[in-house]
Amino acid sequence: MKRLNYPISINNLDWSFGYNEILKNITVNIERNKFTCIIGPNGSGKSTFLKNILKILEPEKNKVFVFDKDIISYKYKDLSKKIASVPQNTVVDFNFSVMDIVMMGRSPYLNRFEAEGEKDLKISKKAMEMTDTWNLRDRTINTLSGGERQRVIIARALAQQSDILVLDEPISNLDIHHQINLLNITKELSEKENITVIAVLHDLNFAIQYSDYLILMNEGRIVDEGLPKEVITHDNIKNVYDIDIHIMNNPITGKPHIIPITDTTA
């Protein structure tokens, strides 16, 4: 597969746990400075896909490339300058202050034993203001609610100032106000700050409205990919999610909007 300096380029990626085949022949290019959403039912391989991109699970040679460089040849500190991530599980083992947690996002840019400087504090403060966590800076992380902790971890990722931001179900613990705020922030990052965003979202309508590109997965394979209007079809949703839907155009954005057809709506 020819690579043209894509932020992420994946070539025939397979991944198995023992005899359990999780990913099967994944081949895809992630466009620069776009908001790409990965959708699909539980167990379709989305999180395993992200873990290979993040080198949490190390793929085989010549399978995953970050800016045309094989991911297995990256040192973790150098890779952290390219990719920041927000995992599903935001539990922190040690009870650091919120400020300390966010400042950890600056560690890839510091030498060993080097302390954070004024620039690092400024960047961290901006990230906290963007995520509505600056008022929490003196709290300890384990005194926060799940939603507050989620926003702090997102602030840490923003403070990292990487070229690529990977989010695994980032809005699952947030109320509707903070869900929309986070998605607005990440959309703005892709449009104005030259950040490539890759997000796993379960809410299909949010994925449709915010993404520039959709990747639909099922049973470890990419079923379809493309613009939301190309991927969100009756057949795709029926085949992958086994539900009947009505698709209408969102009157504000013009993008597809899904309405599930149930016994109470039929």
For the segment 3-58, what is each residue's pLDDT rounded down to a tens digit?
Answer: 568 999 999 999 998 888 999 999 999 999 999 999 999 999 999 999 999 999 98
Is the pLDDT assigned to residue 174 strictly greater than 80?
yes
Q: Which helix (H) or strand (E) holds 36?
A: strand 35-39
What's the mean per-residue pLDDT of the chain?
Answer: 91
Query: Six-digit token pair at 45?
Result: 């391989």
224 occurs within a structural domain: yes
Is the pLDDT assigned to residue 66 strictly greater than 70?
yes
Is the pLDDT assigned to residue 265 strictly greater than 60?
no
Q: Which helix (H) or strand (E) holds 65?
A: strand 64-66
Is the pLDDT assigned to residue 193 strictly greater than 90?
no
1 occurs within a structural domain: no
80 occurs within a structural domain: yes
67 neighbors 82 (Cβ within 8 angstroms): yes
133 occurs within a structural domain: yes
Q: In this predicted structure, what is the pLDDT of residue 4? A: 62
For the chain, percent of residues with pLDDT exceeding 90: 73
Number of folded domains in the chain? 1
Is the pLDDT assigned to residue 2 strictly greater than 70?
no
Is the pLDDT assigned to residue 234 strictly greater than 80?
yes
Span 143-153, average pLDDT: 89
Q: In this predicted structure, what is the pLDDT of residue 116? A: 87
- Sign for the CA dihedral angle at 167, 160, 104, 133 comes to negative
Span 246-262, average pLDDT: 90
What is the length of the chain? 266
48 occurs within a structural domain: yes
108 neighbors 81 (Cβ within 8 angstroms): yes
Span 160-176, average pLDDT: 91
Is the pLDDT assigned to residue 87 strictly greater than 90?
no
pTM (predicted TM-score): 0.90
2 occurs within a structural domain: no
Q: In this predicted structure, what is the pLDDT of residue 60? A: 92
pLDDT level of residue 147 (50, 70, 90 thresholds): confident
Q: In this predicted structure, what is the pLDDT of residue 194? A: 87
Is the pLDDT assigned to residue 263 strictly greater than 80?
no
Is the pLDDT assigned to residue 243 strictly greater than 50?
yes
3 occurs within a structural domain: no
217 occurs within a structural domain: yes
Q: What's the rounded Cα separation, in Å, for the pair 93 and 67?
A: 33
| Structural domain containing residue 179 | 8-260
Q: What's the rounded Cα separation, in Å, for the pair 174 and 136?
A: 16
Query: Six-digit token pair at 80?
Result: 């952290």
Is the pLDDT assigned to residue 231 strictly greater than 60?
yes
Contacts of 31 (CB under 8 A, 6+ apart): 6, 7, 196, 212, 213
CATH at 121? 3.40.50.300
Q: In this predicted structure, what is the pLDDT of residue 88? A: 81
